[in-house]
């Protein structure tokens, strides 16, 4: 029967399923080329993983999502992860949709999978959306801790960068506090100069522009900014402040 | 029976228009239209707003603005249905209107291009599915020019390579399938790249699916007996991932530079009105000049002047403009002087609107060119170009590090820096781990700690990787490992990717589009359809030898030789349908189509740059001239979207910042 066009294996399989012969129905469905018909039936037959595989084969992301949503509701989280883990397309789709909506799910996924870098990235991006700085810092601390057992070079690099980010934010807060009391310096044309959130270089830039050479130097030393970089920043900042030295 | 030319742009436009207007007609009375921002551009290309008004559209709203008012009873949503958060937004707005409005509303949703099961589920969960009438608007290809079709999926790149979401592959397959239905199977599907392979597989799979569905629903012409097309020669699929450097380089054609500097979307660009201040509103030139500071300009090949300029290297745009100006001046002057008899005068007056339009367009492009020159003369621009040219011509990448560091120190915008670093990484199979860490530190210090995420994303996209992690394709290894990267060192020679004596004024090779670098992606296409000439460019023939005698040009040798150095799967499928070869030949004879005059479709999965389009047009012109050499003669470019380097890295850049 296979190879003959126009035979709807879906109908035959459905009949077999209605008769209670599930095994037969599944093997019959293998011959059905239209995934759009195959997948829903497989789902109703509770052949979930086969349904997922068929959906992935079809390339139709809508069908894949459909099966995934179904599985997510039905299975306990751990076994849901086990199902999708062996299938990269499914994992990717779960990840990308969860990124917008359900970060807790992602956290669990990365944890079970031991994907520390991705997990820490998640914490960093949640640090970026925190409403207050102290909460952001907490998230960064978590991210750093999350990476602390790992000895991989990328993890080590990320960790040091996260730690540096925390130090920078703390310094910026300190400067903001200091400078609020010392507003009587000349050349402070820019109003509302909060330093928080700026990059290292921009912090130095703004400090020089406002005439706080010492504080700028402190940032340079703290973060080991290369001499060349510092010279360029200084030059640009002094020009911006119209201090022709 | 004379079959219509395949991939006919006006036919596609017409169909999309009709479909939409039919849907609008289905809703009685006036209506408010709510559309997704990303759809506004394509919609503008297909239908005039005045036409929409004739069909009862009262006011347009953007979905993202969340400000639909209750002025009309009917509310129509026009949204892409593939993304869950878009669906949620629709649901939210329906709920909001229902809560706030006094009158009962009728909601309709047109999903583009199709209604999805997931969107239904989401709407149902939100409890609004019942009160919306749902239909689909099958919009796939949007014609940008006669030979350029785009799906206009703006986030196709980040979807495909960062999130590994294959939706755009599926949509591309659907879109190509529609064309196959009309004009017959692609006799041959060739291409390069893993996602490209997936697309080819999908196309073949869909064919069997359609065949299976056929007899049960006996509507439409039979698809089973569908034979290979007699008007299409082949489909060539290029996966973007095969050739990232081309996107990362600064494009040097006029159109490419407009895209780099001002950003073109859906054939429109926004230019500060001071730039083109003197230009009075002209028909066809300015769109609705509603914005205060910015002005919208149509950029398309219908403008005769622009069709000459767009694909030219920017270096000669000045002289081209000059020439047009001179011709325009002399033709108006001479005519007015020589117009002695009344009939001559009448003739001249009849042509006057043409001259005026040309003059306006000349004025516009002169000011645009001036603005671009301001950009290309800056120190940063020339330095970036220097780094780019050194890297592509094969100089030792470590010699460029000082320059890049200096650019970072001088506060060059992040996308520009990232493009340079990614260019180094992709052309040299990664950056030495020590150097890479130094660059990463420099970027984080210069642009902020949030870009830790940016760097991670770039690594996921395989754009910025440590060396050693990425293995080169081809070479000594007998089998190409999956996930290996394109090896540019041998390719530079075998495909002559770098050309020192490039001629920008009258180009003799596609390398003119980047002033020296020939885009690898287009070279691959050339090695298939234009192989004799390509072989001769690479290895100049002995004088007197016939054009086709070059040993490099035998069969698909060049394509196969070079493709082993390029990352991803190589594929070459022949579709014969259910018709035997003999019948096929007979059918070809009957329809009177010989070898010539066929269409070659080049599909870019993951975006195409305007410089590549220019290069492909050049190849197409040469094909038409040489006639019959290689295969096919009309080149149609299709893509998921049109892309620039900034767009490529932008998908990775983290937008959030730490705030107090």
**CA separation, residue A57 to residues A48, B160, B417 (Å):** 14, 17, 39
B448/A198 touch (CB, cutoff 8 Å), yes or no: yes
A197/B659 touch (CB, cutoff 8 Å), yes or no: yes
For residues B92 and B294, the model is more confident at B92
How far apart (Å, rounded) are the C-alpha atoms in residues A100 and B88? 11
pLDDT per residue as tens digits for the range A208-231: 888 888 888 988 988 888 888 999
Q: Which residues of A touch B659 (CB under 8 A)?
A: 133, 196-197
Q: What pLDDT shows up at residue B276? A: 59
B445/A201 touch (CB, cutoff 8 Å), yes or no: yes
A229/B408 touch (CB, cutoff 8 Å), yes or no: yes
CA distance A79 to chain B (A): 22
| Nearest residue on chain A to B448, alpha-carbon basis | A199
CA distance A210 to chain B (A): 18
**Given a cut of 70, is residue B217 above it in pLDDT?**
no
Radius of gyration (C-alpha) of chain B in whole angstroms: 26
> Any idea which of B34-43, B99-108, B472-481, B606-615 has the lowest mean pLDDT?
B472-481
**Given a cut of 80, is residue B288 above it in pLDDT?**
no
Q: What pLDDT shows up at residue B337? A: 61
On whether the CB atoms of residues B209 and B453 are closer than 8 A, the answer is no
CA distance A126 to chain B (A): 10
pLDDT per residue as tens digits for the range B584-622: 555 555 554 444 567 888 999 988 999 999 999 888 888
| Nearest residue on chain B to A97, alpha-carbon basis | B84
Q: What pLDDT shows up at residue B611? A: 92
Q: Which residues of A touch B117 (CB under 8 A)?
A: 62-63, 65-66
SS (H, E, C) B496-508: CCECCCCCCCCCC
pLDDT per residue as tens digits for the range B239-253: 988 888 999 999 999
B165/A61 touch (CB, cutoff 8 Å), yes or no: yes
| Nearest residue on chain A to B459, alpha-carbon basis | A154
pLDDT per residue as tens digits for the range B91-110: 888 888 888 877 888 888 89
CA distance B410 to chain A (A): 6
ipTM for the complex shown: 0.84
A200/B446 touch (CB, cutoff 8 Å), yes or no: yes
How far apart (Å, rounded) are the C-alpha atoms in residues B257 and B381? 12
Q: What pLDDT shows up at residue B547? A: 47
The residues, any chain, with a CB within 8 Å of residue A130's CB and separated by 6 or more, are A136, A138, A139
Average pLDDT score over residue span B207-219 = 59
Q: What pLDDT shows up at residue B647? A: 86
Cis peptide before B113 (omega within 30 of 0): yes
**Beta-ladder partners of B188:** B574
Q: What totals of helices (H) and strands (E) does chain A contain, helices first?
A: 14, 0
B164/A92 touch (CB, cutoff 8 Å), yes or no: yes
Q: What pLDDT shows up at residue A81? A: 87
Average pLDDT score over residue span B38-43 = 85
Q: Which residues of A touch B460 (CB under 8 A)?
A: none
> Any idea which of A120-129, B257-266, B467-476 has the lowest mean pLDDT?
B467-476
Interface with chain B: mutation pick from A51, A62, A121, highest number of B CBs within 10 Å: A62
Place of tokens 């959130």: A197
A233/B409 touch (CB, cutoff 8 Å), yes or no: yes
Average pLDDT score over residue span A2-26 = 63
On whether the CB atoms of residues B73 and B29 are closer than 8 A, the answer is yes
Q: Which residues of B touch A199 (CB under 8 A)?
A: 444-449
| Nearest residue on chain A to B456, alpha-carbon basis | A121
How many residue pairs from chains A and B have C-beta atoms closer than 8 A?
A: 158
| Nearest residue on chain A to B405, alpha-carbon basis | A229
* Maximal CA-CA distance, chain A: 92
**Given a cut of 80, is residue B444 above it in pLDDT?**
yes
CA quadruple A31, A37, A43, A44: dihedral, nearest 10: -100
Interface with chain A: mutation pick from B210, B218, B452, B655, highest number of A CBs within 10 Å: B452
Compute the half-sphere exposure of residue B410: CA atoms within 13 Å on the CB side of its CA. 15
> Any idea which of A22-36, A163-177, B431-445 has the lowest mean pLDDT?
A22-36
Average pLDDT score over residue span B472-476 = 46
Name the token pair of B540: 């100049």
Q: What pLDDT shows up at residue B11? A: 83
How far apart (Å, rounded) are the C-alpha atoms in residues B154 and B38? 8
Average pLDDT score over residue span A103-129 = 83
Average pLDDT score over residue span B537-561 = 57
Q: What pLDDT shows up at residue B252? A: 92
Q: Which residues of A touch B657 (CB under 8 A)?
A: 128, 197
Q: What pLDDT shows up at residue B213? A: 58
- Picking from A69, A93, A201, the nearest residue to B165 by CB comes out as A93
Average pLDDT score over residue span B362-374 = 88
B163/A196 touch (CB, cutoff 8 Å), yes or no: no
CA distance B89 to chain A (A): 12
Q: Which residues of B touch A194 (CB under 8 A)?
A: 660
A129/B163 touch (CB, cutoff 8 Å), yes or no: no
Interface with chain A: mutation pick from B449, B451, B577, B652, highest number of A CBs within 10 Å: B449
How far apart (Å, rounded) are the C-alpha atoms in residues A63 and B593? 41
Q: What pLDDT shows up at residue A193? A: 62
Q: What pLDDT shows up at residue B420? A: 92
Q: Which residues of A touch B447 (CB under 8 A)?
A: 199, 201
B170/A61 touch (CB, cutoff 8 Å), yes or no: yes
| Nearest residue on chain A to B165, alpha-carbon basis | A93
To the nearest whole percent, how much of chain B has pLDDT over 90? 11
How far apart (Å, rounded) are the C-alpha atoms in residues B130 and B152? 31
CA distance B433 to chain A (A): 10
Q: Which residues of B touch A66 (CB under 8 A)?
A: 117-118, 121
* H/E element, B289: none
- Picking from A33, A228, A229, the nearest residue to B208 by CB comes out as A33
**Given a cut of 50, is residue B280 above it in pLDDT?**
no
pLDDT per residue as tens digits for the range B383-420: 999 999 998 888 888 888 888 999 998 888 999 999 99
Q: Which pTM was predicted? A: 0.85
């Amino acid at each position: 029967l296979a190879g003959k066009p126009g035979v709807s294996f879906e109908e035959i399989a459905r009949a077999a399923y209605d008769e209670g012969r599930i095994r037969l129905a599944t093997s019959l469905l293998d011959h059905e080329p239209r995934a759009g018909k195959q997948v829903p039936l497989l789902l109703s037959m509770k052949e979930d993983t086969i349904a997922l595989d068929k959906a992935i084969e079809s390339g139709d992301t809508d069908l894949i999502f459909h099966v995934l949503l179904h599985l997510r509701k039905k299975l306990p989280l751990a076994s849901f992860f086990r199902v999708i883990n062996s299938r990269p397309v499914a994992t990717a789709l779960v990840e990308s949709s969860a990124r917008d909506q359900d970060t807790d799910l992602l956290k669990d996924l990365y944890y079970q999978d031991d994907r520390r870098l991705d997990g820490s990235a998640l914490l960093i991006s949640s640090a970026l959306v925190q409403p207050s700085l102290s909460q952001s810092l907490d998230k960064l601390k978590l991210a750093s801790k999350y990476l602390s057992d790992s000895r991989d070079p990328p993890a080590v690099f990320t960790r040091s960068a996260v730690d540096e980010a925390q130090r920078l934010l703390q310094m910026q807060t300190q400067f903001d506090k200091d400078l609020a009391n010392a507003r009587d310096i000349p050349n402070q044309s820019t109003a509302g100069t909060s330093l928080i959130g700026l990059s290292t270089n921009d912090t130095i830039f703004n400090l020089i522009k406002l005439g706080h050479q010492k504080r700028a130097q402190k940032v340079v030393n703290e973060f080991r900014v290369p001499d060349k970089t510092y010279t360029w920043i200084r030059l640009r900042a002094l020009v911006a402040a119209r201090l022709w030295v | 029976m004379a079959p219509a030319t395949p991939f006919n742009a006006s036919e596609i436009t017409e169909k999309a228009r009709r479909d939409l207007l039919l849907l609008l007609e289905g809703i009685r009375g006036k209506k408010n239209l709510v559309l997704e921002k990303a759809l506004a551009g394509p919609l503008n290309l297909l239908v005039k707003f005045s036409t929409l008004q004739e069909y009862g559209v009262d006011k347009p709203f953007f979905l993202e603005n969340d400000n639909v008012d209750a002025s009309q009873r009917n509310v129509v949503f026009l949204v892409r249905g593939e993304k869950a958060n878009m669906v949620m937004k629709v649901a939210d707005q329906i709920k909001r209107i229902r809560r706030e409005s006094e009158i009962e509303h009728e909601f309709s949703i047109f999903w583009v291009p199709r209604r999805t099961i997931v969107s239904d589920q989401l709407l149902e969960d939100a409890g609004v599915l019942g009160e919306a009438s749902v239909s689909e608007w099958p919009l796939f290809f949007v014609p940008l020019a006669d030979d350029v079709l785009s799906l206009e999926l703006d986030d196709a790149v980040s979807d495909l390579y960062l999130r590994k979401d294959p939706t755009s592959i599926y949509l591309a397959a659907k879109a190509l399938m529609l064309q196959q239905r009309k004009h017959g199977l692609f006799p041959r599907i060739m291409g390069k790249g893993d996602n490209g392979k997936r697309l080819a597989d999908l196309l073949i799979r869909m064919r069997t699916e359609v065949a299976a569905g056929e007899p049960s629903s006996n509507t439409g012409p039979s698809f089973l007996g569908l034979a290979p097309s007699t008007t299409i020669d082949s489909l060539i699929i290029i996966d973007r991932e095969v050739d990232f450097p081309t996107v990362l380089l600064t494009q040097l054609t006029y159109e490419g530079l407009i895209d780099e500097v001002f950003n073109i979307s859906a054939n429109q660009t926004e230019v500060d009105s001071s730039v083109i201040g003197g230009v009075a509103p002209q028909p066809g030139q300015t769109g609705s000049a509603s914005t205060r500071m910015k002005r919208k300009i149509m950029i398309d090949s219908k403008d005769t002047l622009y069709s000459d300029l767009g694909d030219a290297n920017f270096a000669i745009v000045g002289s081209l403009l000059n020439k047009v100006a001179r011709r325009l001046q002399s033709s108006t002057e001479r005519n007015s002087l020589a117009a002695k008899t009344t009939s001559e005068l009448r003739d001249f007056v009849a042509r006057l609107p043409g001259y005026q339009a040309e003059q306006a367009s000349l004025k516009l492009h002169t000011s645009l060119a001036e603005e671009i020159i301001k950009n290309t003369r800056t120190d940063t621009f020339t330095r970036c170009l220097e780094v780019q040219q050194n890297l592509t011509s094969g100089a030792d990448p470590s010699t460029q590090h000082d320059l890049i560091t200096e650019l970072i120190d001088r506060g060059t915008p992040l996308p520009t820096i990232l493009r340079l670093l990614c260019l180094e990484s992709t052309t040299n199979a990664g950056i030495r781990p020590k150097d890479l860490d130094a660059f990463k530190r420099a970027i984080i210090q210069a642009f902020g700690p949030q870009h830790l995420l940016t760097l991670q994303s770039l690594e996921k996209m395989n754009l910025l990787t440590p060396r050693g992690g990425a293995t080169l394709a081809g070479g000594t290894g007998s089998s190409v490992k999956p996930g290996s990267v394109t090896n540019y060192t041998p390719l530079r020679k075998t495909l002559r990717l770098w050309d020192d004596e490039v001629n920008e004024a009258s180009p003799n090779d596609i390398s003119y589009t980047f002033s020296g670098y020939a885009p690898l992606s287009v070279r691959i296409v050339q090695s298939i359809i234009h192989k004799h000439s390509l072989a001769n460019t690479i290895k100049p023939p002995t004088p007197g030898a016939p054009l086709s005698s070059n040993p490099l040009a035998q069969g698909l040798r060049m394509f196969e030789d070079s493709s082993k150095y390029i990352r991803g799967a190589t594929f070459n499928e022949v579709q014969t349908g259910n018709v035997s070869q003999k019948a096929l030949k007979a059918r070809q004879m009957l329809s009177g189509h010989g070898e010539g005059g066929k269409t070659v479709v080049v599909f870019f999965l993951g975006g195409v740059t305007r410089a590549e389009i220019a290069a492909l047009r050049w190849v197409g012109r040469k094909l038409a001239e040489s006639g019959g050499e290689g295969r096919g003669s009309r080149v149609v470019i299709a893509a998921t979207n049109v892309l620039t380097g900034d767009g490529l890295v932008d998908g990775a850049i983290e937008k959030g910042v730490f705030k107090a």
